[in-house]
Each structure stands twice: as structure tokens, then as C-alpha cells.
Structure 1
Amino acid sequence: MAASPRELQPLQAEQDINEKWLQTMLSLKLGRPARVHSWTSRTPRGREGFLSEIAFVSVSYSKDGEEGTVDASLVFKFLPQDPALRQFLANGGLTKREVEFYNFVSSSDFQEICQNCGIDLPVPETYYAGYTEEAITIVLHDMNTDKFKSVIVKEGSSLEQTRTALKSVALVHAAGLLYIKQHGKGDSLKTLSSPFKTDFYDQFFLPNLDTLSTMYKGSPLSSTMQSLKPLTQVMYKVVEKRPFIDTVIHGDLWAGQLMYSEEESRAVIIDWQFSRTCNPVTDIVSMFFMSSNPSVLPRYEELLRDYWAVFTGTVKAGGASVDLTFENLLSSVEDCWILGFQFLAVSIHDFIGGGNITDERIFGAIDFLEKRGVFKKFIEEFSQ
């Protein structure tokens, strides 16, 4: 008899992994009993996820009624041990969102949509995702074993890396739209479609605006950064004031959340704590300003055409229509440039501390926005 979901509870940390838990988890995943023959776990040296504790687990198991063994390479994610990070996750409701996302994309209804459209979803295969107030455990296929790699370049992602990222997230956006068209949001997307809390952002955004003001000392942009401080809560909501398409988004798309294939023509997207139903342009401007080299930004229309081709092609393959045009996409991006700045500004201290960004990249991104009059337009429209 296969295991019942009630038999499995999320774990506190790597040391809580045991053979019985693994066996129950695999039985749930397979829909029939599984037997674990051996397993090992290790913590990555010097590499802790910013919002998660990580463990890599190798397990050898057999399926009931079949000869031979299967070897699986898994990534376990747990709540961070740091109390401040735990509180950050709790304030934003982020752990529950990530668990719901992985359970959503693993559901039979969503998987059927992907199969019908021929989508190879750019998300690691989910073995288990569980959540309580005290614990979270997410178990995913380890993409490192498929020779996928993290590519974080402090000078910024290249044109082709950005193109690959946007084409990958377009598949998720399209599949999410198809699901909503067919099934509505309902219980499967209850948490992801609930209001997204943004108050917790200000603990990073406000001091980072001071940092930017100092970096631009002697320039009019110094006072511009100060003028933005009373408007942060409005900035978070810009995407809601500029409706476009409502679908499932990542919400924090940058190079650190991507793993590229060897030749970098494919990417899988990880770390879905900020996932929600929203305007997909959120992910586009996030990638542009949190990751891309400033030389990529002037070619944004070219990249948007590639994104739009994948998005509309997938929606049509699912038997639905897109009632909007590429020009509507362009207009939505223009309306949401300031949101791209928000993603960059909120992240600056972490990026600088992690060696993931150069001053030239910060200046290049802000110069792009300043030349387009984005700051002036936003301040004039919302300061009243």
C-alpha cells in the first residue's frame, strides 16, 4: 500500500533526514511502495541559500514489484537557522508561497497542460513540498547532475543569457495563463493569488536609496533618490495600477535564480519564494535590472519579441488565444520601468556584499532609466 500524505511532515533540518522519511517520501512520489537501500547527504561547502538551508542527498531505492535499483540526486531546502531570515520569510509569507508553487506545478491538471502543449517546464522536478509554521521541506531533482550550472557575472548577464532566461520564464507565464483560463484560480492558487505583502521590502529599500544618494553625491540624481523614499509603497504597486495579463510569475527573477545548461541555451528557474499571480512584466523588468549588463538594455525590444513569440506560441498550442498584442506588452514594460529600478535598489547591499554587481552596472542601469525620464515621470505622477 502506498503511503498517505498525512504520514509525512516537513523536517526542521538536514540532521532530521532518515531512511523512513525518505522511503515514505518516495512512496508518495511514485504512488506505490518504495524501499530505500542506501542514502547519503552533504551540505554544500560555503554555499548557503540566501533564504534557505540546503542539503544534497543521494539515495538508492527500488520500486515495489520491480527488480533493480534507481539512483536519485536530490536537493533539500529547509528554513534558515538565522532568526532574522526566518522573520523576513514570515513577514512576507514567502515559505508558504514557494511550497504552494511547487505543489501547483506538480499537480495533475497543470502537468496535463504542459504535456498537451509540449512544454518542458523550466522548473526542477518536485519530489515533495511541505510546510508548517515551524518547518519547511522542499525536495527537488538536483539539476547539477544534468550539468546545469549557476552563472552569476558581476558585470551582468549577457544578451544571450538574458534571452534564454526570458524565453524560459515565458513558458511558465504561458502555462500559468492556460491553467487560469481552464480552471480559474480556486484552491490550487489560493495563496499565490492572495495579496502580496510589500511592507517588509522597506527595511532594505530605504537604506539602499540612501546608499544610491551617496553614490550620486554632487549630481541631481542624489536628490532624486531622496525624493523616491516617500514613494516606495506606491512603487511596489505600480504593476497593479498598470494591468496587463494575470498569470503565475516568479517575482524575483535574476541570475541567482537560474541554472543554465552547458551551452547556456536552456535555463531552469529555482527559488520561487516570491511567486504569485501578477503581471508577467514583473519578471521581465526584474531580469533586466537585477541581472543584465547595461549594454543589453537598449536592445530590450528585440528580447521582448523573443519572449512574446514563446509566450503566444505556447498559449496557442494550448488551444487558447491571446487577446493582447506585442504593442500592449511594450506599453506595459514602459509603464513598469520604475519597478525594475525597485528590484535593483532593494538588492544592492546584498549584491555588493556578495560581489555580484559592479558600480558600473548600477550606474548603467540607472542612466538608462534617467535618460528615459522614468524617475521624473514617476515622481510627478505619484508625489501628489
Structure 2
Amino acid sequence: MELPPLKSDKEISQRWLEEMLARKIGCAVGVKFWSVRLPEGREGFLSEVAFVEIQYEEEIDRKDESCQLVFKFLPHDSDLQSFMAKGGLAEREVEFYKFISSKEFKVIHTELPVPEVYFADYSEDAITLVLRDLNQDKYSSVIVRDGSTLDQTKTALRAMAIIHGAGYLYLCQYGKQNNLATLAAEFRNDFYDQFFLPNLNTLVEMYKGTSLADIFKALIPLTKEIRSTSHRNPFLETVVHGDLWAGQLLYSHDQQAVSVIDWQFCHLDNPVSDLMSMFFMSTDPWVLENHLPEILEDYWKTFCKVLEKGDGDKIIQGLEQLAANVEDMWMYGFMFLAVSLHDFLNGDNISRDRLDGAMTFLERRGVFSKFLAEFGDK
């Protein structure tokens, strides 16, 4: 049976579920009961979500089983669909899950801090991702307006270090072709300006009468240079999330583990880009001011452990190089914060204190003045 991606939860059928489970499990199954529950509000900016519970019987042993799954579909909004198409976002998320499910990748690393995938496919007008519902494992989102704590930040970045390390090993062994072809394609991020420019103007208004307002005005014609920060400051190349913040993380009940979700912006890039994203879209600026070396050392230890299990000879950089690259990448962090500003303010996901703290952090390090000295005459 052909198993096409679905446009919405209304297209879910018993036959589709049986074929999907048969492919996942490796034997024929009979679905006895299934139900669909929709969230009360939007679960994600770029997708529609449905929670599906299935009771089924495997034909081999006739044993009753059940599973709780999350289905992700294209957003209903036509503007969001156009936004996703322009960035190739649906393809990237699907190809990420296909990549980590490939035989070649599983030789590199068998378990990643991401939801287990049951099905992933897309067409020109549809996308369907079927993932294990981690709510049953007591994983949940933890978004703090004033910023993620030190422990929350370290937990998130340890998870990303595992993914970064495994992705790097894969690239060393297999290169960018085949399973990584889609993610290796040039990321069409010019559409960021759809949010970047209006949000810079918002920052000008928010900080009117201060020196920061003049800085934000000066940055408006320099978005291309800000977006190219990562390309100008290479460190390592690996698989990155591309939109890492607390809203894309599901923490265990004790917050000692995390699962990383929503991989629409996944691509190959400098792993420090994910650190910048987490730092400025989620982390409390006080944490960065007082614990940055500790955070970087913790991340790097995990990254190196992954590489040592695969091929220790592939470690070509060190903690000092990581810290130096972080200092070169601060404007990339500012970009993530600026691009997400309207959504964060509208969703009450950021406090003014955290926003002010992030700007103060960048000013104290001379990030804006250094950037404008280099590019301000363009």
C-alpha cells in the first residue's frame, strides 16, 4: 500500500495507521481502536498538531499493544505555508528524521535526544511527521520569561552536543551526499528579513531616546552582514537545529534530560550557531554573565565524549577554539533574538528585564561597536 503524507488529522484512517505501524514494527498489525485529540491552542508556529492514541494487535503473537503519538502537519495558514516553502522547511524536518533513522547514521550513534520517529514524509502540498508523544514520559516544555536557568541551559546544550558530535562524525565518514543532501543544500535564509527588518524597527521604538536606538537604526541596512556571521567565522561543520530555544525543548520531570523537537530549520553549519540561539532566545543573561566558561566546558566535554566513542582522531579543535569562536559569533545571537522578538512579545515568552539584560550583555562586550566599526560604512 502506498503511504502518502496527510494534509490534516481528518485524513487519518485505520488503513493508513495499520500500514504505518506495520512498517515501523516490521509485521502486520490490526488497529482495534484509535482516537484523535487536538490541542486547545496552537502547539507550534509552523505546524498543526494532533495527538493520536492507538490500540492495536500484532499478527505474529496476537498481543494487544498501544501507543501514543504526535502527528504534525503543514499549518493551515497560507502565509505560513508560503514561508515554509520559501525556506524549504518542511523538507528539512522530514529529511532530518530520515537521516537519523538511516542505517549509516545508526552505525555512528543509535540514540539521540529527539523523539522516536514512526513516519516522516512530504509532498508538494503536505507533510506528515509521526513521533512518539513524550507527554506519556512526563516530558514537558519549560519556558521562563526571565530566562532559562544555568541547569536548564546546560541540559539543553548537552543534548545538542550529542547531536552535533554524531553529525560531525557522520560527515567525516560519509560526507554531505545521499542522506545529508537536503540538509547540505544552501539554506535560503533571506526570508529572515521578513521578520528581521520589522523587528529592528520595533527595537528602535522600544529603546527610543537611548544610544541603543541609534545602534539598531545603524543595523537595519546590515542584516545581510549579520546573517552571514556564521559563514565568516567557521569552527566545525555539523548538523545544527537552527532555531534552538526553550520552546523547542521538552524537559524530563527532573529537568536532567531533554528532547529536542521542531527541526524545520535544520541544516549544516557551525554548531556555535545553536549555542547562540539558545543563549539569546532563552538563557537568562545573568547566567551568561556569570557562568559562560562553565557552560562551554560542559558542552565541549559532552561533544568530545561522542567523538571519542566514534573516532577520537577526528577532534581537530579544542575548548579554547570554541570559546574564541563564541566571542566571534555574538551578533548571530542578536539576530536570533531580534528575529523572534514579535513572537516572543506576543506570546509573553520574554520579559523586558531579559531583553534589556541581553542588550546590556552585548554592549558590555563591545559587540555592537565592533560590528559597526567593521561594516557600518557599507
Letter in 2 for 1:110: F
- In the other structure, the counterpart of 2:318 is 325
Is 1:84 the counterpart of 2:79 in the alignment? yes
Letter in 2 for 1:341: F
Deviation at 1:30, TM superposition (A): 1.8
Deviation at 1:204, TM superposition (A): 0.8
**Deviations along 1:325-357, whole A, 9 cap, x unmatched?**
111101111110000000000001000000100
Is 1:46 the counterpart of 2:37 in the alignment? no
Identify which range, 24-33 or 328-337, moves more after superposition.
24-33
- In the other structure, the counterpart of 2:209 is 218
Q: Is the 8 A contact 2:42 2:48 kept in 1?
A: no
Letter in 2 for 1:317: K
- In the other structure, the counterpart of 1:127 is 118
- The correspondence for 1:55, drawn from 47, 50, 59, is 50
Q: Is the 8 A contact 1:214 1:222 kept in 2?
A: yes
Letter in 1 for 2:10: Q
**Deviations along 1:282-312, whole A, 9 cap, x unmatched?**
0001000000111111111110000000001
Q: Is the 8 A contact 1:178 1:320 kept in 2?
A: no
Deviation at 1:198, TM superposition (A): 1.4
Equivalenced residue count is 375
Segments of structure 1 that go 5 or more residues without pairing to the other structure are none
- In the other structure, the counterpart of 2:175 is 184
Is 1:344 the counterpart of 2:337 in the alignment? yes
Deviation at 1:32, TM superposition (A): 2.4
Deviation at 1:36, TM superposition (A): 1.3
Mapping for residues 112-191 of structure 1, pairs under 5 Å: 112-115=107-110, 120-191=111-182
- In the other structure, the counterpart of 1:315 is 307
- In the other structure, the counterpart of 2:328 is 335
- In the other structure, the counterpart of 2:199 is 208
Q: Distance in 2 between matches of 1:62 and 1:110?
A: 30
Q: Distance in 2 between matches of 1:81 and 1:216?
A: 35
Q: Hey, which bits of structure 1, 4+ residues long, moved more than 6 A?
A: none
Q: Distance in 1 between matches of 2:372 and 2:24?
A: 51
- The correspondence for 2:353, drawn from 348, 351, 360, is 360
Mapping for residues 205-354 of structure 1, pairs under 5 Å: 205-298=196-289, 299-321=291-313, 322-354=315-347
Letter in 2 for 1:312: C
**Deviations along 1:20-53, whole A, 9 cap, x unmatched?**
0001111111222222111111101123311000
Mapping for residues 22-41 of structure 1, pairs under 5 Å: 22-41=17-36
**Deviations along 1:144-169, whole A, 9 cap, x unmatched?**
00000110111111111001000010
Indicate the SS of the match to 1:209: helix
Indicate the SS of the match to 2:184: coil
Q: Name the % identity.
A: 51
Deviation at 1:217, TM superposition (A): 1.2
Question: What is the TM-score of this pair, normalised by structure 1?
Answer: 0.96
Question: What is the TM-score of this pair, normalised by structure 2?
Answer: 0.97
